[in-house]
């Protein structure tokens, strides 16, 4: 009996330690994300805008491991953007995972422009929409970034706590890719970045 109690206690402490460590990891990731706005000459935000960036509380349930399937796309396709500019992308693969007791598949894309640019040739991204759009998150969808090295043994970890808004969520005129219909998720992803709060005067708590 004592052994069982000790085991349960140790397990609880281990889970608590992981949760706190994970929360710290996500908070550090978001601080880095905010600083990058001040380092980009084309940024839509200034220092005074950063307090209006809002996020869901970190939730490990939205960190999932998926099965990655490589797709050989040699022709590519034209992806629409919010300002009407057409950008060419290639389907790099798909990732299938379980979330909220459902199986989901998202497609992973590679930019033609970046694949031929030194230091960016291994960049991948997943643009997606979900049922929180417009009400809680940007209506035009959100993005997740990856690099080749993130795919290990045909497995890819998707952490929706790291999904972010495109520049178009803050200011018009940017050529932000519009998520293809095949990446429309039929569930609510309450993780990652929320609607920008400046217009409503809502700051991150």
Q: Which residues, 6 or more positions from 123, have their beta carbon under 8 angstroms from its beta carbon?
A: 110, 111, 114, 115, 145, 146, 147
pLDDT at 204: 73
C-beta of residue 148 within 8 angstroms of C-beta of residue 122: yes
pLDDT at 12: 47
- pTM equals 0.88
Domain ranges of the chain: 2-183
pLDDT(79) > 60: yes
């Amino acid at each position: 009996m004592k052994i069982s109690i000790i085991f349960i206690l140790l397990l609880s402490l281990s889970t608590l330690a992981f949760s706190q460590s994970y929360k710290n990891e996500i908070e550090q990731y978001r601080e880095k994300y905010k600083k990058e706005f001040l380092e980009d000459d084309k940024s839509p935000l200034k220092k005074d805008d950063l307090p209006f960036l809002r996020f869901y509380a970190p939730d490990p349930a939205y960190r999932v491991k998926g099965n990655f399937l490589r797709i050989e796309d040699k022709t590519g396709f034209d992806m629409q953007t919010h300002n009407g500019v057409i950008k060419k992308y290639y389907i790099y693969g798909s990732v299938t995972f379980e979330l909220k007791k459902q199986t989901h598949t998202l497609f992973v894309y590679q930019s033609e422009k970046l694949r031929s640019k030194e230091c960016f040739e291994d960049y991948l991204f997943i643009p997606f929409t979900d049922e929180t759009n417009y009400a809680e998150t940007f209506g035009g969808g959100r993005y997740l970034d990856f690099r080749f090295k993130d795919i290990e043994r045909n497995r890819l970890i998707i952490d929706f706590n790291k999904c972010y808004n495109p520049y178009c969520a803050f200011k018009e005129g940017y050529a932000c890719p519009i998520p293809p219909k095949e990446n429309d998720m039929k569930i609510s992803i309450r993780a990652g970045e929320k609607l920008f709060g400046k217009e409503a005067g809502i700051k991150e708590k």
